[in-house]
Structure 1
Amino acid sequence: MPLTDFGADELAHYRPESPAPHDFDAFWQGTLDEARAQGGAVKGERVTDRYRLYTVEVDDVRFPGWNGEPVAAWLLRPQGAEGLLPVVVTYIGYSGGRGLPTEHLFWSAAGYAQLVVDSRGQGHDTPDRPQGDGTQWVEGFMTRGIDSPENHYYRRLITDCARAVDAVAELPGLDADRIVVTGGSQGGGLALAVAGLLGERVAAVMPDVPFLCHFRRAVQIAGEGPYPEIVNYLRWHSRDKVEQTFATLDYVDGVHFAQRATAPVLFSVALMDPVCPASTVYAAFNHYAGEDRTMTVWPFADHGGGCGSTPPTQLEWLAERGLTPRP
């Protein structure tokens, strides 16, 4: 995959003008208030024996998300852990769900608790109920409800992700003062959104090659992945839907969440990424409001980023900030 975006020096200073909608904060505060008002209990069932695991405890969790609807998650933690554990809330990449707990053993092996959040409609355990007229313009999720911010798919998914952090306080053995949000690609964009929405309730954020950032540029240069879904839609609606489309996407753009996020942040970017082009990642990074911000650059990587090198990099970064499990 050739280098098709800006060079490294230009990327480091790339900070495009990106004003959020005037009612952005009120829109999201109202959305979260409405979801929380629906109530609902957080429930967990111990299922460790089902997966023949001996060093990790696994709970199958349901918590109330958008509109109070139950969202599935896995809670994993080291077997026999005592005291309150820091918890890594993990969001999933595009077209994937929480999968099986055996796919998520790294953080518990490192001594952390981990809450792995299903993605409504993308995974198999949390259905999505489209809002408005339910129009699905092209295959995928990018244009589901694209007619308005109120109806858009990512309003529902981001709400689920924020409510996952709310659920941490109701799950035993977790330290609600040491919550780390993370994910790759779509999961990274969702982690940024949660950090921007929940402020000091998030102790750290680690968006890995994040998606959902700087839509107006992304749709122009991304050659693969979900952004072309928007291009395909606008190809047929370029006469009358362009500004309405981007006006909707402005409410879920990671750049605007980054402008409100203050927790220590570890970004990563791959300079040969055809799915989440490097300039879109730097747009969010260079707008990030917090002072403690770090970028890990993988100069010859595609959307896989650092692959196996990413987890140890994240562990080291968390240790430098004192976010490690207590002995």
Structure 2
Amino acid sequence: MAQFDLPLEALREYRSDSPEPDGFDAHWARTIAAARAHDVILERRPVETGLSAVDTWDVRFAGFDGHPIAAWWTVPRHRRAHRGVVVEYLGYGRGRGLPHERLLWSAAGYAHLLMDSRGQGGQHGNGGDTVDPVGTPPSATGFVTRGIADPAEHYYRRLVADAVRAVDAARALNGEADAPVVVSGNSQGGALALAAGGLVPDVSAVLAGVPFLCHPRRALMITEASPWSEVVNYLSVHRDAVDVALGTLDFVDGVNFARRGRAPLHASVGLRDTVCPPSTVFAAFNAWGEHAEAAVDREIEVYPFNHHEGGDAVHTRRQLDWLAGVLGGL
């Protein structure tokens, strides 16, 4: 698809006009406090991977409402002290898969926690291991509309709480209180990285590639690509639920999390991406750190001829270089 959104010059200045919901901070404070009422590490078991350079553990940590969330904890066998921890979140429909699939961060010398996405893992990759025990009223196929009639019941309230608790779990597993913690992900994972970066004020850096769930009100006006098509399908049936659904999505809008960011941010955007339209990504990027007391470093990689894959492996190398520079200055 050709570039379909605003020109790049306009994107760099674009701001969301969506309302921030009343009670946003209180909603998330209650959610995270309730999740943190549970001991974070539920189970930790070493696994044999056939790899000689890393050690891996199969972990269960307490996420939303204490629900057990699966994760892989992988540590370089010859790791430098205080190298840092990368907490990684997954894209839409993907589960944590097998422990040898994602070795980038441990190969770069970081301890790595890969969080499973509750209820997902049946659309891509090699599956997931975390159930979502919460039932919801009628919804469209997928996850975005599950519980969309109430912010307290919305699927992404649970998943964002899991993402915050993954940071707590990584710190507990790492055992070094002052080690840097980085949150990272692409697409849905990028959305969770923005959320964790906004809700956990002392993370050291945020890597958010082509983030989903930013500026939903605009996304629904300019694209019907999946997963936004789920909301379109739902509202085509529940015609009187538009205001309620949009109000719920405001509570998980990446723009609202971005305003609360404190850590340096490295983001990316594909200018032909219909899944995460450029203006929605820039809306979050341009809002990053608005509520901070001082200026917050941020950088975005723009890929004019790419779709939702963004910069792919080229972008990964840029992330590695950027992160080394940021953590090297701590």
Q: TM-score, normalised by structure 1?
A: 0.93
2:131 matched residue in structure 1: 127
Counterpart-to-counterpart distance in 1, 2:147 and 2:328: 38
1:315 matched residue in structure 2: 320
1:22 matched residue in structure 2: 22
Asked if residue 210 in structure 1 is aligned to residue 205 in structure 2, the reply is no
Q: In 2, are the aligned partners of 1:84 and 1:173 still within 8 Å (CA)?
A: no
Counterpart-to-counterpart distance in 2, 1:186 and 1:17: 22
Counterpart-to-counterpart distance in 2, 1:194 and 1:234: 29
Of stretches 83-92 and 299-308 in structure 1, the one that deviates more from structure 2 is 83-92
1:126-145 equivalences in 2 (<5 Å): 126-131=130-135, 134-145=136-147
SS in 1 for 2:39: coil
Query: What letter is aligned with 1:262?
Result: R
Could you report, residue by residue, the CA deviation over 1:16-57 in whole angstroms, capped at 9, with x for unpaired residues? 22331120001100011111113353431111x2x2111111
1:101 matched residue in structure 2: 99
Stretches of structure 1 that go unaligned for 5 or more consecutive residues are none
Query: Closer, same or farther in 2 for the Cα pair 1:136/1:96, shift >3 Å?
Result: farther
Counterpart-to-counterpart distance in 1, 2:83 and 2:279: 36
Counterpart-to-counterpart distance in 2, 1:65 and 1:323: 31
1:254 matched residue in structure 2: 254
1:239-278 equivalences in 2 (<5 Å): 240-278=240-278
SS in 2 for 1:101: coil
1:295 matched residue in structure 2: 300
1:189 Cα deviation (Å)?
0.3
Q: In 1, are the aligned partners of 2:82 and 2:179 still within 8 Å (CA)?
A: no
1:93 Cα deviation (Å)?
0.3
1:188 matched residue in structure 2: 190
Query: Closer, same or farther in 2 for the Cα pair 1:52/1:324, shift >3 Å?
Result: farther
Q: 1:179 aligns with which of 178, 181, 195?
A: 181
Q: TM-score, normalised by structure 2?
A: 0.93
1:136 Cα deviation (Å)?
3.4
Stretches of structure 2 that go unaligned for 5 or more consecutive residues are 122-127, 290-294
2:76 matched residue in structure 1: 78
Q: In 2, are the aligned partners of 1:86 and 1:323 still within 8 Å (CA)?
A: no
Counterpart-to-counterpart distance in 2, 1:97 and 1:56: 21
Query: Closer, same or farther in 2 for the Cα pair 1:73/1:324, shift >3 Å?
Result: farther
1:147 matched residue in structure 2: 149
Cα RMSD between the aligned structures? Answer: 1.6
Query: What letter is aligned with 1:291?
Result: V
Of stretches 296-305 and 80-89 in structure 1, the one that deviates more from structure 2 is 80-89
1:39-50 equivalences in 2 (<5 Å): 39=39, 41-47=41-47, 49=48
| Identity percentage of aligned residues | 49
Counterpart-to-counterpart distance in 1, 2:26 and 2:297: 27
Could you report, residue by residue, the CA deviation over 1:162-200 in whole angstroms, capped at 9, with x for unpaired residues? 00111122214556540000100000000000111111x
Q: In 1, are the aligned partners of 2:83 and 2:179 still within 8 Å (CA)?
A: no
Query: What letter is aligned with 1:19?
Result: P
